[in-house]
């Protein structure tokens, strides 16, 4: 038999950063963050684990940062008309849904020293508040308050139910807390 070791390599799509991150997200979503290992990721991509390092020289650190960027970059769309509160509500609801859908990545979003991944999202919120009439500093503070609330509240929700307490309607609770912040923001806006 003539050895043709490159057949398998030719019949599969080339390894790219994007394919690697997608495969990693699939593992985390399906099996949890703890089961994401370089060896398992290599298996999923039909490649030796070490091949990943060729596309991500910083190794697993770079992989986890990539997951955070992939999930957490989520800018808000500016309001079509004047209703900035509605635009913020829609963003908050959609962002929470995204974080919930990739709950295994949330620990990384909260934890990793990867500020760039959130600064685009924060900037989009700041701009909406600025146009609503808040002074520059108050708009920046408000943007981070919203971001911190959504991330923190979603993390609390995903921690699971407290055994002694009645089951919580987390949708309602999330909305109620969000309205607290929006009320506070309204009192500081030019167009409340």
Q: Report how far residue 8's alpha carbon sits from residue 48's, in angstroms, rounded to the nearest whole number.
A: 13
Q: Does 31 bind a copy of itself (CB under 8 A)?
A: no
Buried b (16+ CB within 10 A) or exposed e, 80-91: eeeebbebbeeb
Q: Which does residue 38 touch among DNA, a copy of itself, none (CB within 5 to 8 A, set by kind)? A: DNA
Q: Does 166 bind DNA (CB under 7 A)?
A: no
What's the number of CA atoms in the CB half-sphere (13 Å) around residue 71? 31
Q: Does 137 bind DNA (CB under 7 A)?
A: no
Residue from 163, 167, 190, 191 in contact with a copy of itself (CB under 8 A):
163
Q: Which does residue 107 touch among DNA, a copy of itself, none (CB within 5 to 8 A, set by kind)? A: a copy of itself
From 42-50, 130-138, 159-167, 182-190, span contacting DNA (CB under 7 A):
42-50
Q: Which does residue 100 touch among DNA, a copy of itself, none (CB within 5 to 8 A, set by kind)? A: none
Of 130, 113, 37, nearest to 76 (Cα)? 130
**Number of Cβ within a 10 Å radius of residue 104:** 20
Given the complex with a copy of itself, which of 94 and 116 has the nearer CB atom?
116
Is residue 66 classed exposed, middle or buried when 0-12, 13-18 and 19+ CB atoms within 10 A define those classes? buried
Q: Report how far residue 163's alpha carbon sits from residue 46's, in angstroms, rounded to the nearest whole number.
A: 43
Q: Does 54 bind DNA (CB under 7 A)?
A: yes
Residue from 22, 29, 44, 49 in contact with DNA (CB under 7 A):
49
> Under rule CB under 7 A, how many of the chain's residues touch DNA?
24
Q: Report how far residue 101's alpha carbon sits from residue 165's, in angstroms, rounded to the nearest whole number.
A: 25
Q: Which of residues 57-76 bind DNA (CB under 7 A)?
A: 59-61
Q: Which of residues 112-131 bind a copy of itself (CB under 8 A)?
A: 112-116, 118-119
Given the complex with a copy of itself, which of 12 and 86 has the nearer CB atom?
86
């Amino acid at each position: 038999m003539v050895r043709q070791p490159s057949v398998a390599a030719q019949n599969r799509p080339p390894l790219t950063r994007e394919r690697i991150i997608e495969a990693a997200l699939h593992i985390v979503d399906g099996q949890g963050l703890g089961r994401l290992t370089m060896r398992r990721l290599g298996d999923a991509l039909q490649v030796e684990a070490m091949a990943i390092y060729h596309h991500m020289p910083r190794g697993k650190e770079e992989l986890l940062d990539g997951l955070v960027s992939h999930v957490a970059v989520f800018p808000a769309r500016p309001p079509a008309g004047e209703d900035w509160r509605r635009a913020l509500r829609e963003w908050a609801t959609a962002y929470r849904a995204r974080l919930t859908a990739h709950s295994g990545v949330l620990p990384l979003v909260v934890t990793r020293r990867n500020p760039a991944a959130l600064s685009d999202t924060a900037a989009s919120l700041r701009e909406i508040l600025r146009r609503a009439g808040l002074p520059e500093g108050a708009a920046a503070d408000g943007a981070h308050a919203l971001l911190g609330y959504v991330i923190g509240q979603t993390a609390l929700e995903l921690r699971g139910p407290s055994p002694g307490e009645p089951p919580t309607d987390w949708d309602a609770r999330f909305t109620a807390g969000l309205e607290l912040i929006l009320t506070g923001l309204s009192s500081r806006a030019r167009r409340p």
